[in-house]
Amino acid sequence: MLLFSMLAASSLLYILDYQYTKNGPLEAAKIINIGQGDSLIQISDNLAQNGIIDNKLLFLTLVKIKGLSNKIKYGEYLVEESVSISSLLESFSKGVPFQRQVTIPEGLTSNEISQILNNDIRIKGQDVKVVREGVLAPNTYSFDMKISKKNLLDIMKKQQEKIVQMAWDNRERDLPLKTSFELVILASIVEREAIKNSEKPIIASVFINRLNRKMRLQSDPTVIYAITQGKTNFKRKLSKKDLKKISEFNTYKVFGLPPAPICNPGREAIIAVSQPAKTDYLYFVADGKGGHKFSKNLEQHINYVSQYRKLLKNK
């Protein structure tokens, strides 16, 4: 009788172990949500309704046998195709939630970044307000269902602080910039002027050279910001009248840097300003191919501008 009981127990353990590790019925990966405070019965109902398990009683039994009754963490999870109960419970007990992503491109204004976060229904919490320009780090950020818009904004701020501090600590010591804030101001202009990352150190060198020579920066993006204040898109070409706009942001009218950044520059632009290329360039103009042509004197610059205008007419 004892031998029979031992064999029966051994067979039961074998069956349970098989059921624990065998592939589940889920035919395609899906995302499920385990709510905070959900009971084991609610969790098993959720899994069964989503086709992840086919026997709720078996699932509840295995959870208790494995001692995981109080170790399942709430959150949003990506459940893979044919997942076993073993893998499922390992994921739930470790509490590694499904990660979503939001991309913040370089050169956006703080208003534009706030709109991205506030319009993303996947991110919880109250809408965030517009912060100062230049303090948010462009990047692709991963987040789970627990994070709020404010949390993400704080992460972006801390990331930008680290980037700026690193760039400032490793800057060229002869830069005509007094503070890391001025570095960010110039980086924001470089960000809006450059299309190619490879050109950012060269464009930075142009502005550094102009600052050293007490020349106006004459940057079109600063005029656009003077007009829009970063709150609206500018959908037309700049006019000669625009270039005469009275504003402390209009670098055609004022000497030196504007009083604040005009966007949120990325890491490459910030580093480009802290370690600009060594050039004698004082001017640049678009080449019509996604890059720029750089000049050391006004005569050469005027020639390149003429070439660019002819190119536009022929298109």
Q: For residues 284 and 298, what is the distance between their CA atoms, to the nearest angstrom?
A: 10
Single-letter amino acid code for the residue at 142: S
CATH topology of domain 22-94: Dna Ligase; domain 1 (3.30.1490)
pLDDT in tens, the chain (315 residues): 444 444 444 555 657 677 778 888 888 988 888 888 889 999 999 999 999 988 888 888 888 888 888 888 888 888 889 989 888 888 888 887 888 899 999 999 999 999 999 999 989 999 999 889 999 999 999 988 889 999 999 999 999 999 999 999 999 999 999 999 999 999 999 999 998 999 999 999 999 999 999 999 999 999 999 989 887 777 778 788 888 888 999 999 999 999 999 999 999 999 999 999 999 999 998 888 889 999 999 999 988 888 888 877 776
The SS3 assignment for 31 reads strand
Name the 3-class secondary structure at 105. Answer: coil
Which of 283, 294, 289 shows the shortest CA–CA distance to 312? 289
What is the CA angle 297-181-103, rounded to 5?
Answer: 95
- 3-class SS at 48? helix
Domain-by-domain residue ranges, the chain? 22-94, 100-159, 168-314
Task: Specify the pLDDT at position 161.
Answer: 98
Specify the pLDDT at position 7. 42
